[in-house]
């Protein structure tokens, strides 16, 4: 007799419950409702987008184990958000590895910009830390390609708002100039599109596509370092854009002069326009960011709690917002009061991982030391079993403990392709589910990574 979606989910819950604490289980899994079961695909409804993101981030391994355990190797899981959020589903991120080339015979095409509609000037808090950058960005948005700020390069540390500001420029341009073609792209997507163009023997179509673009935004340009073909094509696109008065916007984690593995001719062109930096927000700006974060929430934070957060999270806007989100989650789902005790509990978790800044280099050193390997071997193409194992574990830990994308992680391992990183992480996760001894090794390495930061 076939089982229905309710029975399947109940069996999944039994498996999940044995793997996590009762408090976590009651908070994150009890509110979920099974919706349907079709062709081994179970659809569940989650209370909110935040719940979905939390499940994907914190409990994906438990969910995978449960689904495969109940439905077999072909089992899959899909999420359904509440009706009130369904109108936003059209804004979901699309697969940008699909060939975006021009349609033959058309002089100009409409282009999917890939912009995040939530990143606007209106919710980008201005302070001394970003005043010049924001002002210049707004000037560019009002007259793309028509100011001396071309190219515009925004640089600064992780979590300081570079990506938000870049998207805000793009969204403002779209509002002011509806027929203006904008494209936002990451180095990973840019390289993937070039690889596909070369494979399909249509590199000319790739270049022709970019001639239809009026403004190009490339985020985290430093991750193109060392990619010779990508840099060559970027150089040609850059020249064509500049000569035709089209706008170029780049973000980076460092100044152009400090970019390693970047062609000198490109660096010299980066200096043609405006180079502006973002610095860590001062106390007043951090307070304003929290107020903006809470403006769409029904929950209020006492002033003392906001002050406590600002004194403890000082260098990273992303962490500041993450702490607020976690406090909201705890207060809403666990029915707790928002007070200093709750703030302290949440911040301790962020401090242990984020403010201590677990880096990929730190992870590589720990893993290489465990396997008694030269750390440079993790960047090699060697297929020796112990080197492959150490490399895959390092990539897995990098994904778990940093906020880097697959492509960015690959860049730290000798320029490995994002698909290689995805395969490595998947391999480790599969072994964690079936090999107890391997699981103990990885757990010990996780503890060692954390311990090295406390000393």
- C-alpha count within 13 angstroms, C-beta hemisphere, residue 417: 9
- Taking the C-alpha atoms of residue 71 and residue 12, their distance in angstroms, rounded to an integer, is 9
Closest alpha carbon to 272 in 148, 177, 359 = 148
Q: In CATH, what number is assigned to the domain containing residue 366?
A: 1.10.1750.10
User: Which phi-psi region, left, alpha or beta, contains residue 119 (left: φ > 0; alpha: ψ -120 to 50)?
Assistant: beta
Positions in the chain whose pLDDT score sits under 50:
84-109, 352-355, 453-455
Q: In CATH, what number is assigned to the domain containing residue 176?
A: 3.40.50.300
Q: What is the pTM of this model?
A: 0.55
Strand order in the sheet with 247-252: 182-185, 215-218, 247-252, 152-155, 274-277
- Taking the C-alpha atoms of residue 103 and residue 105, their distance in angstroms, rounded to an integer, is 6
Q: Is residue 388 part of a domain?
A: yes
Closest alpha carbon to 44 in 32, 54, 31 = 32
Q: What radius of gyration do the chain's Cα atoms show? A: 24
* Per-residue tokens: 56: 């994907």
Q: Is residue 414 part of a domain?
A: yes
3-state secondary structure string across the chain: CCCCHHHHHHHHHHHHHCCCCHHHHHHHCCCCEEEEEECCEEEEECCCHHHHHHHHHHCHHHHHHHHHHHHCCCCEEEEECCHHHHHHHHHCCCCCCCCCCCCCCCCCCCCCCCCCCCCCCCCCCCCCCCHHHHHHHHHHHHCCCCCCCCCEEEECCCCCCHHHHHHHHHHHHHHHCCCCCEEEECHHHHHHHHHHHHHCCCHHHHHHHHCCCCEEEECCHHHHCCCHHHHHHHHHHHHHHHHCCCEEEEEECCCHHHCCCCCHHHHHHHCCCEEEECCCCCHHHHHHHHHHHHCCCCCCCCHHHHHHHHHHCCCCHHHHHHHHHHHHHHHHHCCCCCCHHHHHHHHHHHHHHHHCCCCHHHHHHHHHHHCCCCHHHHHCCCCCHHHHHHHHHHHHHHHHHCCCCHHHHHHCCCCCCHHHHHHHHHHHHHHHHHCHHHHHHHHHHHHHHHHHHHC
**Rounded alpha-carbon distances, angstroms, from residue 317 to 19, 220, 268:** 33, 17, 31
Q: In CATH, what number is assigned to the domain containing residue 59?
A: 3.30.300.180
Q: Is residue 125 part of a domain?
A: no
Looking at 24, 54, 88, the residue that finishes a domain is 88
Asked if 313 and 330 sit in the same domain, the reply is yes
- Taking the C-alpha atoms of residue 44 and residue 6, their distance in angstroms, rounded to an integer, is 10
- Taking the C-alpha atoms of residue 102 and residue 301, their distance in angstroms, rounded to an integer, is 50
Q: Is residue 142 part of a domain?
A: yes
Q: Is residue 227 part of a domain?
A: yes
Asked if 140 and 261 sit in the same domain, the reply is yes
Asked if 67 and 154 sit in the same domain, the reply is no
Quote the number of domains for the chain: 4
Closest alpha carbon to 144 in 249, 278, 220, 236 = 249
Asked if 137 and 254 sit in the same domain, the reply is yes
pLDDT of residue 134: 93
Asked if 160 and 261 sit in the same domain, the reply is yes
Asked if 135 and 273 sit in the same domain, the reply is yes
Q: Is residue 50 part of a domain?
A: yes
**Cis? peptide before 151, omega within 30° of 0:** yes
- Taking the C-alpha atoms of residue 390 and residue 4, their distance in angstroms, rounded to an integer, is 42
Which backbone phi and psi does 334 adopt, to 5 degrees?
-105, 5
Note the maximum CA span of the chain. Answer: 71
Q: In CATH, what number is assigned to the domain containing residue 291?
A: 1.10.8.60
pLDDT of residue 450: 64
Q: Is residue 103 part of a domain?
A: no
* Per-residue tokens: 453: 């930061």
- C-alpha count within 13 angstroms, C-beta hemisphere, residue 197: 21
Instruction: Find all residues with CB under 8 Å of 17, minimum gap 6, and list them.
Output: 25, 29
Asked if 206 and 191 sit in the same domain, the reply is yes
Asked if 140 and 259 sit in the same domain, the reply is yes
pLDDT of residue 96: 30
Asked if 214 and 318 sit in the same domain, the reply is no
| Residue whose structure tokens are 């405006």 | 274
Asked if 364 and 348 sit in the same domain, the reply is no
pLDDT of residue 95: 32
The number of beta carbons lying within 10 Å of the beta carbon of residue 327 is 23
Looking at 322, 355, 388, the residue that finishes a domain is 355
pLDDT of residue 357: 64
Q: Is residue 269 part of a domain?
A: yes
Asked if 142 and 267 sit in the same domain, the reply is yes
- Taking the C-alpha atoms of residue 253 and residue 221, their distance in angstroms, rounded to an integer, is 8
Looking at 64, 88, 112, the residue that finishes a domain is 88
Asked if 289 and 259 sit in the same domain, the reply is no
Segments forming the whole domain that contains residue 251: 131-277
pLDDT of residue 353: 46
């Amino acid at each position: 007799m076939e089982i229905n979606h309710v029975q399947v989910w109940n069996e999944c819950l039994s498996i999940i419950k044995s793997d996590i604490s009762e408090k976590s289980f009651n908070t994150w899994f009890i509110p979920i409702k099974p919706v349907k079961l079709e062709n081994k695909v179970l659809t569940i409804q989650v209370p909110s987008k935040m719940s979905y993101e939390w499940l994907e981030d914190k409990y994906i391994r438990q969910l995978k184990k449960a689904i495969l355990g109940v439905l077999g190797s072909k089992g899959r899981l899909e999420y359904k958000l509440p009706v009130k959020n369904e109108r936003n589903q059209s804004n979901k991120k699309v697969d940008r590895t699909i060939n975006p080339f021009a349609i033959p015979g058309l002089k100009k095409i409409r282009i999917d910009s890939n912009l995040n509609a939530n990143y606007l000037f209106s919710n980008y808090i201005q302070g001394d830390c970003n005043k010049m950058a924001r002002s210049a960005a707004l000037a560019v948005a009002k007259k793309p390609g028509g100011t001396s700020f071309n190219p515009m390069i925004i640089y600064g540390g992780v979590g300081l708002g570079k990506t938000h500001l870049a998207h805000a420029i793009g969204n403002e341009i779209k509002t002011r100039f509806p027929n203006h073609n904008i494209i936002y792209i990451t180095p990973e997507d840019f390289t993937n599109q070039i690889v596909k163009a070369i494979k399909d023997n249509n590199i000319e179509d790739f270049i022709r596509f970019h001639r239809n673009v009026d403004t190009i935004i490339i985020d985290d340009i430093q991750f193109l370092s060392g990619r010779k073909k990508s840099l060559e094509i970027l150089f040609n696109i850059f020249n064509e854009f500049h000569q035709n008065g089209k706008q170029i916007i780049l973000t980076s984690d460092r100044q152009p002069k400090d970019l390693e593995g970047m062609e000198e001719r490109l660096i010299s062109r980066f200096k043609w326009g405006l180079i502006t930096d973002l610095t860590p927000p001062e106390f007043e700006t951090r307070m304003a960011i929290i107020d903006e974060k809470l403006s769409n929430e029904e929950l209020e934070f006492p002033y003392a709690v906001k002050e406590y957060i600002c004194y403890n999270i000082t260098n990273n806007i992303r962490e500041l917002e993450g702490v607020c989100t976690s406090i909201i989650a705890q207060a809403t789902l666990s029915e707790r009061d928002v007070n200093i005790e709750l703030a302290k509990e949440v911040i301790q978790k962020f401090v242990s991982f984020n403010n201590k800044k677990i880096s990929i280099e730190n992870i590589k050193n720990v893993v290489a030391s465990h396997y008694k390997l030269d750390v440079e071997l993790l960047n090699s193409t060697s297929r020796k079993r112990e080197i492959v194992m150490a490399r895959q574990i390092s990539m897995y830990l990098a994904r778990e403990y940093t906020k880097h994308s697959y492509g960015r992680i690959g860049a730290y391992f000798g320029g490995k392709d994002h698909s290689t990183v995805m395969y490595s992480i998947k391999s480790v996760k599969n072994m964690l589910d079936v090999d107890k001894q391997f699981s103990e090794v990885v757990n010990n390495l996780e503890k060692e990574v954390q311990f090295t930061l406390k000393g």
